Amino acid sequence: MTTNNPKFKPGTYHVDAPGHNGTFPIEVTFSEDRIESVKVDGKTETDGIGSNAYTTMPQQIVDGQTLNVDVVTGASDTSHGILSGVAEAIKQAGVDPEIIKDRPHYVDPDAEVEDLDYTTDIVVIGGGGAGLAAAATALDQGKKVVLLEKTMALGGNTVRAGGPMNAADPEWQNQFKALPGEDKTLEELTEYDLDQVDDEYKADFETLKGQIREYLDSKKDYLFDSVELHRIQTYLGGTRTDLQGNRIYGKYPLVKKLTDNVLNSVKWLKEIGVKFDETEVAMPVGALWRRGHKPLEQAGFAYIKALGKYVEDHGGIILKEAPVIRLMNVNGKVSRVIAERANEQRITVRADAVILATGGFGANTKMVQEYNTYWPSIDDDIPTTNSPAITGDGIALGQSVHADVTGMGFVQMMPVSDPETGELFSGIQTPPANFVMVNQEGKRFVNEFAERDVLAKAAFENGGLFYLIADNEIKKTAYNTSEAQLEQQVKDGRLFKADTLADLAKQIDVDPVVLEDTIKKYNSYVDADNDPEFGKNVFDLKVEQAPFYATPRKPAIHHTMGGLTIDADAHVLNADGERIPGLYAAGEVAGGLHAGNRLGGNSLADIFTFGPIAAKTAASEIVDTASGASMH
């Protein structure tokens, strides 16, 4: 007969648990009657994602003396790893872990259950980058703020971002040399037929052509950029035609507002506390140009860490695990928000302005399939880079108060995603100038410097799965990893490493002769600054210094371009183009900016520009009241 009060073999047990980025160590200490402590070394897990699990679950296991604890939304791999690791330690301590799993579900004894009621100036829905930027800006404007976050942790998709944020900053960029081929990209723009350009963009295109000619005529060797280049590349990069022949391009007022203001957004983030790497101009995949401002630490989490602290330090009220279920019109204005927690606690927030910053719907595959008009098909089991919480809630909330939507059929695939998890932080992720993409035959199949949808379509046409080939020097340009993480991934079979290309080919099951020939040709193209096969127009390093690496990749749902219709001041509009009083939106929940395809690095530019714009607009339209945020 089993007992629910078994006796452990006292001592400390060490186990390795499977996580999102490989295995991680856990140390569990038992007395005869209790689990005394659970210590997790989660350095390999992603800050702001996996860290949410290993900073909360161990204490819940100890407090509840149970393995019956909730997994952390968005960190399921780390959560299950912790549970399986502790279960293994329990087994080593001489107890059947099923006994501990069968104990009552852990409930936080301090959790509030009474309904809450707040009155404030501005309520922000969503605690990712756009929401936190809006909340911080509203506080700067002297307004009181309540922020409602659906999950137990701030961050949304921003913590999953690589980190570089696009902003033309010529004074900084001109300090760096041009890469081979960048002049050709600029020359092609001077030859672009303006008859193919939409009227709103023609004047900017003319200005850009003049800037480029002046730069090229100067024969100076530096990285060129301008606000107009950013604007035109955003426009051209987003102009697409769907399967029914409908053409879409970025709405000029939105694109202009972004490109005119994003450098100020970078400067503001520096004031908030984000530290940027001034020694390198970054370029994410599909960015088309080097203009990325990259945080020094922790990729996307660097923004969330700084902004979350700023909001809390300046009096903002942040309520987590508070999914919003309803927006309410009061006297013709959206001014009341209802959230409901899992324990049925209801939260009512009365506000003069409501800012939606809930992200898109990239983790809602059925919704993606329902709206899709761009991809021939989207499989039910397609991976996603998104947080599981990004399911289109804000779009539905907006529609419930008659908001219009735009561009919903265009969904971006991240071509270089982990085949199993959809994440971006595994393997060796480098600037696209160092991408060498080979298919399952060991052959290149696309211009690796192209836009994301071009890369993804080419990957799908080649069977989906492909490999990024790198050598020891290219590895040094990776922005997402450490040597320890790479070695762990090699051990786990998620990354392939060899001293010769022939051995690497055998590991990924391709013909060594084919792979060696592919790399020989690619290296010759780098030397010649010319790719006659696929037209890659910007190069950096050759593949020649052992060890060699192959990172498996496959496209995954990444970004939904469509969303609520907004104007350049972030007002949400109805189907007649009229403002919905009291309602504003920023970030991926809004559509119209990126049109059919988003440039890499423009998402962070978007959220950290339009989040503050939404807050400033809302603050300017609020009639001051004597009271601020209060609870009763």
Predicted confidence (pLDDT) per residue in 279-311, tens digit: 999 998 889 999 999 999 878 899 999 999 999
- 301: alpha, beta or left? (left if phi > 0; alpha if psi -120 to 50): alpha
What residue ranges of the chain are covered by domains with CATH 3.90.700.10? 413-556
Q: What is the mean pLDDT of residues 137-166?
A: 93
Return d(Cα 582, Cα 572) in angstroms, integer: 9
Q: Hey, what amino acid is at 202?
A: K
Query: Which has more confidence, 46 or 558?
Result: 558
Nearest to 548 by CA among 505, 510, 508, 500: 500
Instruction: Compute the CA torsion angle 387, 395, 452, 275 (nearest 10 deg).
Output: -60
Please write down the long-range contacts of 509-514, taking CB distance under 8 Å and 24 or more positions apart.
509/440, 510/438, 510/440, 510/441, 510/442, 511/441, 511/442, 514/441, 514/442, 514/443
Which DSSP helix (H) or strand (E) runs through 425?
Answer: none
Please give the structure tokens belonging to residue 137. Answer: 């800006």
Label residue 489 by pLDDT band (50, 70, 90). Answer: confident
What residue ranges of the chain are covered by domains with CATH 3.90.1010.20? 11-102
| pLDDT for 626 | 37
| pLDDT for 538 | 86
Query: Is 161:140 a contact under the CB 8 Å cutoff?
Result: no
Residue with tokens 């009096």: 315
Instruction: Compute the CA torsion angle 385, 371, 250, 195 (nearest 10 deg).
Output: 120
Q: What is the mean pLDDT of residues 307-327?
A: 97
Return d(Cα 514, Cα 516) in angstroms, integer: 6
Return d(Cα 293, Cα 287) in angstroms, integer: 12
Return d(Cα 424, Cα 46) in angstroms, integer: 11
| pLDDT for 627 | 43
Query: Which has more confidence, 486 or 252?
Result: 252
| pLDDT for 18 | 79
SS3 of 7, please?
A: coil
The domain 11-102: what is its CATH number? 3.90.1010.20
| Most confidently predicted of 52-66, 85-99, 313-327 | 313-327
- Across the strands, what pairs with 560? 411
Out of 23-37, 213-227, 263-277, pick the least confident. 23-37
Nearest to 596 by CA among 375, 412, 391, 416: 412
Please give the structure tokens belonging to residue 469. Answer: 């080939």
pLDDT in tens, 172-212: 999 999 998 899 999 999 999 999 999 999 999 999 999 99
pLDDT in tens, 385-399: 998 899 999 999 999
pLDDT in tens, 564-588: 999 999 999 999 999 999 999 999 9
Q: What is the mean pLDDT of residues 238-248?
A: 95
Please check the confidence at residue 218 and state whether its pLDDT lies above 90: yes
Return d(Cα 392, Cα 324) in angstroms, integer: 12
Nearest to 151 by CA among 360, 322, 316: 322
| pLDDT for 152 | 87
| pLDDT for 480 | 63
Please give the structure tokens belonging to residue 429. Answer: 């992720």
Query: Is 167:291 a contact under the CB 8 Å cutoff?
Result: yes
Return d(Cα 343, Cα 602) in angstroms, integer: 38
| pLDDT for 625 | 42
The domain 413-556: what is its CATH number? 3.90.700.10
Q: What is the mean pLDDT of residues 74-84?
A: 82
pLDDT in tens, 124-136: 999 999 999 999 9
What residue ranges of the chain are covered by domains with CATH 3.50.50.60? 117-166+236-410+561-621
pLDDT in tens, 613-626: 999 999 999 975 43
Please give the structure tokens belonging to residue 133. Answer: 């930027």
pTM of the full structure: 0.87
Which DSSP helix (H) or strand (E) runs through 561?
Answer: none
Please check the confidence at residue 524 and state whether its pLDDT lies above 60: yes
Q: Where are the alpha helices (DSSP H) in 554-625?
A: 602-621
Q: What are phi and psi of 337, to 5 degrees?
A: -125, 135
The DSSP-derived string for 241-282 is E-TTS-EE---HHHHHHHHHHHHHHHHHHHHHT--B-TT--B
Nearest to 515 by CA among 436, 570, 584: 436
Return d(Cα 556, Cα 544) in angstroms, integer: 30
Q: Hey, what amino acid is at 361?
A: F
Return d(Cα 121, Cα 142) in angstroms, integer: 10
Please check the confidence at residue 82 and state whether its pLDDT lies above 80: yes
Please give the structure tokens belonging to residue 495. Answer: 């990354």
Return d(Cα 374, Cα 409) in angstroms, integer: 6
Q: What is the mean pLDDT of residues 398-422?
A: 94
| pLDDT for 421 | 82
Catalytic residues: 452
Out of 95-104, 356-365, 431-440, pick the least confident. 95-104
Q: Hey, what amino acid is at 86?
A: V
Query: Is 598:157 a contact under the CB 8 Å cutoff?
Result: no
**Kind of pairing, strands 317-319 and 145-148?**
parallel
Return d(Cα 524, Cα 502) in angstroms, integer: 19
The domain 117-166+236-410+561-621: what is its CATH number? 3.50.50.60
Please check the confidence at residue 484 and state whether its pLDDT lies above 60: yes
337 to 253, 323, 330, 352, 595: CA distances (angstroms): 29, 10, 11, 11, 30
| pLDDT for 275 | 95
Nearest to 129 by CA among 617, 589, 442, 616: 589
Out of 19-33, 244-258, 505-519, pick the least confident. 19-33
The DSSP-derived string for 220-235 is --S----HHHHHHHHH
| pLDDT for 630 | 52
**Kind of pairing, strands 165-166 and 563-565?**
unpaired
Average pLDDT over the chain, rounded to whole? 92
pLDDT in tens, 4-55: 789 999 999 999 887 766 678 899 999 999 999 999 986 666 676 767 778 8
